[in-house]
Amino acid sequence: MYKYKRYQDVRLAFAPELDSAFFGGDPDNFTFPRYNLDAALIRAYENGKPAKTPNYLRFSKAGAAEKELVFVSGHPGSTQRLLTISQLAFQRDVALPNRLMYLAELRGLLTEFGRRGEEQARIASGQLFWVENAFKALKGRFEALLDADQFGKKIAQEQDMRSKAGQEAWETIDHAVKASRDLYDSYLMIEAGRAFPGDLFRIARTLVRGATERAKPNEERLREFSEAGLPTLEQRLFSKAPIYPDLEQILLEFGLTKLRETLGTDHPTVKKILGKDSPENLARTLIQNTGLADVDTRKGLWEGGQAAIDSSLDPMILFARLIDDDARDFRKTYENVVEAPILKASETIAKARFSHATEKLYPDATFTLRMTYGTVKGYEERGAFIHPITTVDGLYERATGKAPYALPQSWIESKDSLDMKTPMNFASTCDIIGGNSGSPVINKKGQVVGLIFDGNIQSLGGDYWFDESVNRAVAVASPIILEALQKVYKADRLLKELTK
């Protein structure tokens, strides 16, 4: 049993330039060797003052050595290693191709928007980064599922388990997966919100549903409106982060266009949403006339509850209300027909797997605290050995002066003062997944030797299985964090805090 302590007030203490943190850009993403200072420091506050944290991990000046045992403590998001063959086939044949096609189109849309000017490029950059990262990650998963050898092993494992534990649970999942093929598009577009990308609709739906759900007992609410989750939800809802109408408009137009394309012009919900209007005109009308970009307006609607929502004439609120009954129906059907049977059957299968396992197994990642371990170790790729540790000299050799291999001015000016053999990034056999970014890599002395920020391309198959021969976690080495703070950024006070 353990408890979480939540800090609601955290402030940025240090972050490097994007060209340093994301050196190599998308071409180097999910690859190794890497040369990134992808690390930031935040300070937690209580009652307006820096929090007192007497128990902490000191940073190692030496870092990690090849073959050294290391540990990673963090919150891995989710893995799907207990999926059945029918579930894996659905991912391979339906879900992943669908998402990849969508992201490819969205990437083109954002790229074109960014070409309108410097400001548009800046505005689109954050979302474009997310799209490119997601596309590459999902492409890696898709390619992993096309690996006939690994997929064949999963088939053999399932056949063995079915012979030992019976067929019923697997057949239940098979039926649910078959049903999901018919429900998937409607659920994805309407309830999951793919048809309504952007911040403004998300805000409107949160306000509309929040008014309804908060009036219910906690146990009857939609899970995202539970009392435990409200502080985080409200923090996001009332964020002062800027909202850009031009970007919101092209995103919503894109989503509405995909809605009609996916479900068809004659689909009842499509008719309800578009009527005689076009995606372009409806998106423009909603974005140009909503007041939800204003934080005070959101607070008024949230605090005013159902009465405020019912009396609101904001077009985006009215739009969210128009859709909500249909969206809730799609959600309820999907949860009852697909998710609930799969959840129950999966519990049965998991128990069977653990009881009949001939080797040690551990549960799928669920964003809860986990500890994993491994060694700093290289691997073979395309007939060559990939050394597990990169150094600063490799960074300067890789730099071209052009994006995405352009160094920030601070690193150009500091080159002569840096030790070229300082460890930069390293790879280990620690079993991690998305959600582990920022997790400390710790040596046997309890010192931080690195911070996880990525995995290699082979790690993307780790969503479904772990292949220690090639799956690698990638971390920023502690020595370069300390040296950069001292010699590049002159942040001596932070340096002292990390090492004292």
> From CA 446, how far away is CA 493, in angstroms rounded?
22
**Which residue has 């893995």 as its token pair?**
79
Q: What pLDDT sits at residue 360?
A: 79
Any bridge partners for residue 371, and if so which? 73
> From CA 457, how far away is CA 283, in angstroms rounded?
38
Q: How many CB atoms lie within 10 A of CB 393?
A: 15
> From CA 21, how far away is CA 410, in angstroms rounded?
13
Do 482 and 61 touch, CB atoms closer than 8 A? yes
Q: Which amino acid is at 45?
A: Y
pLDDT one-digit tens code per residue, 290-342: 999 999 999 999 999 999 999 999 999 999 999 999 999 999 999 999 999 99
pLDDT one-digit tens code per residue, 338-392: 999 999 999 999 999 889 887 778 899 999 999 999 999 999 999 999 999 999 9
Q: What pLDDT sits at residue 281?
A: 98
- Report which of 26, 30, 20 is spatially closest to residue 395, judged by C-alpha positions: 20
Intervals of the chain under pLDDT 50: none
CB neighbour burial string for 117-135, b if at least 16 within 10 angstroms, e if fewer: eeebeebbeebbbebbbbb
Q: What pLDDT sits at residue 6?
A: 85
Q: What pLDDT sits at residue 181?
A: 95
Return the H-helix or E-strand segment holding 227: none
Q: What pLDDT sits at residue 493?
A: 96
Q: What pLDDT sits at residue 135?
A: 98
Do 426 and 1 touch, CB atoms closer than 8 A? no
Q: What pLDDT sits at residue 193?
A: 97
Residues 6+ apart with CB under 8 A from 235: 8
Give DSSP secondary structure letters for 365-403: P-SS-EEEEEEB--EEETTEEE-SEEEHHHHHHH--SST
Q: Is 202 exposed, middle or buried (0-12, 13-18, 19+ CB in 10 A)?
A: middle
> From CA 465, how far away is CA 459, in angstroms rounded?
9
> From CA 186, how far away is CA 181, in angstroms rounded?
10
> How is residue 171 written in tokens?
């057949």
Strands (E), 137-217: none
Residues in the chain, overall count: 500
> How is residue 20 written in tokens?
């340093």
Would you state the CATH architecture of domain 9-79+364-499?
Beta Barrel (2.40)
CB neighbour burial string for 235-255, b if at least 16 within 10 angstroms, e if fewer: eebeeeeebbeebbbbbbbbb
3-state secondary structure of 265: coil
**CATH 2.40.10.10 region(s) of the chain?**
9-79+364-499
